[in-house]
Amino acid sequence: MGLLEGRVALITGASRGIGRAMSERFAREGAAVVCAARSADQVKETAAGISATGARAIAIVCDAGVEDDVRRTVAIAVKEFGRLDTLVNNAGDAGPTKTVQDYLVEDWRYTIDSCLTSSYLCIRFAVPEMLKAGHGAIVNISSGAGRRGLPFRIGYCSAKAGQVGMTFGMALELAPHNIRVNCVAPGAVEGERIDSVIAGQAAARGISIEQMRKAMLDRAPLKRMVTANDIVDATVFFCSDMARSISGQVLAVNGGDPAG
């Protein structure tokens, strides 16, 4: 029996990277998975790959920063699987790398909506279903940037810090209803996104990509980036009964960086 046997989980940003790895692992642990993302072809690939193994999964094209999309997604999930008791708020865009004076209001709104408003909306519409189920587990995928900051990324840092505050507030509010809320704060995660972040940071700081990559690695005592599976492991733990007495916590998965 898997760690998430019998759960029904909504995972946003499920089209690639951490979200796809998350969806696949949740299914292997026994959950029925609602894969939600903006990219239609990619999120359908995620769900199809899971279904091909005999596990239960559906794909829903959803912009998690849009209220009507989230309302519809939760309704479809409940119609398909009968309930919803697990939510992973993984959706989010890195946003631009710019000085604050060049960071447009449009940049700000887009990044906040993508990373923070999306988490709020998913919680807002998932919680009534968790109340019906009598239990629930919510995990917000934040970032070390929301705890220690990152130059030239004011929108992203603010949104990710907001997810941490949201975790604390929702954990207190929902605890009487047996709904747990926790947060995973990744450090630098191997993959295309961190390569783009490194390139943007290097350009903004006037250093080489190699120098910027070394600076990121030097920040982690273990001297390596984390993997998508490292983030998935932490999230599965928070959503499983192993964490039944844990709520309102932020777990940094970052190679040992004490700053977050």
Burial class (CB in 10 A: 0-12, 13-18, 19+), 223: exposed
The architecture (CATH level 2) of 8-189+227-253 comes to 3-Layer(aba) Sandwich (3.40)
Parse the chain into domains and list their residue ranges. Answer: 8-189+227-253
Instruction: Give residue 193's pLDDT.
Output: 79
Using alpha carbons, select from 36, 82, 32, 54 the residue that is nearest to residue 46: 36
pLDDT in tens, 34-67: 999 999 999 999 999 999 999 999 999 999 999 9
| Rounded-to-integer distance, Cα 81 and Cα 12, Å | 17
Instruction: Give residue 72's pLDDT.
Output: 98
Catalytic residue list contains 156: yes
| Rounded-to-integer distance, Cα 204 and Cα 183, Å | 29
pLDDT in tens, 116-161: 999 999 999 999 999 999 999 999 999 999 988 889 999 999 999 9
Give the predicted TM-score (pTM) of the model: 0.94
pLDDT in tens, 221-241: 898 888 999 999 999 999 999
